[in-house]
Structure 1
Amino acid sequence: MFDIGWTELMVIGVVALIVIGPKDLPEMFRTLGRFTAKARSMAREFQRAMESAADDTGLRDVADDLRKATSARSMGLDAVKNAATKFEAWDPLKPKPGTSAVPDPDAPAAPAAPPTAAATIAAGAAATAAPVAAEAVAAAPLGPATTALAEEVATKRAARLAEQAARQAQPKTDAPAPAGAAPEGHEQA
């Protein structure tokens, strides 16, 4: 506690024995022991009073809430670290393990659903979108998910272009009649 060794204690004891005397020395040690015990009990009581005051005011609850709020888990920092680690290890040119770009020839084919009107239109659009989709896929080496997304976007674009071409090819029936022409059912005189 005070870094006092056995030799220093013996020197202090000898000096106390000479100064106080052998008759009063045991009584002085008892008094010193009581004083030390009383000081320790007062320190413990003070510490308990401070803890109970902190409990009464809710300071401990606030401290616990702050500790929980600032923890790495509650802030999501561990999830961010995991995501950063996965991103650093990610290679966009490699397919995911367990997936392949080429379908398994031994796998049974999925049963075909009856075609609907929307499927028929989509099939027509897909036929016109094939060159556009092939161009989008050939543009850059992409992963399977990105390739599928690029094909979907290209298919939608081709469907829009086909729809616009179909509108332009239709004859306009709402065009006004020429100035010299008579309305239907009426003959010119």
Structure 2
Amino acid sequence: MFDIGMTELLVIGVVALIVVGPKDLPGMFRTLGRFTGKMRGMAREFQRAMDDAADEAGVKDVAKDLRKATSPKSMGLDKLNAAADKFEKWQPGVAPKTGDRTGDAPKAKSYGPATETLAADRAAQGDARRAGASETAGVAKPAAEQGPVPDPNAPATDASKGDA
């Protein structure tokens, strides 16, 4: 209740010895002990009376119902916590391991033929885009893909005039 250490008690004892005197000190401590005991008894009785009144009013039943109604399991928070844990453990770029809940080795997940075809098509589209981007960026093609080399001495023709 009070945070009094040994040094504080020693100081209080020395001051009481000086103020009250050695002859009356045991009587004073006896009276102080009785007073403290009565105060503790009154506090215990008050606590019992409050507990009995709470029992009669049904506070414990209401508190039990409130705990049950606000439990994480009844509100679905346990699933939310599990999802949050999975999100915190998520590592981008790493494929999730699949398997059963018993801790066995992960099972390989198979996709249908439509998914595999779509993946192959998208990979081909990505390759085509990368090839087109390298052409527009000025990346040199191999000599076989460049076509005929124009003659630098030949007169230039303008395609918009219809000259060929």
Give TM-score, length-normalised by structure 1: 0.43
Higher RCO (CA-CA < 8 Å; seq separation 6+): 1
TM-score, normalization by structure 2 = 0.49
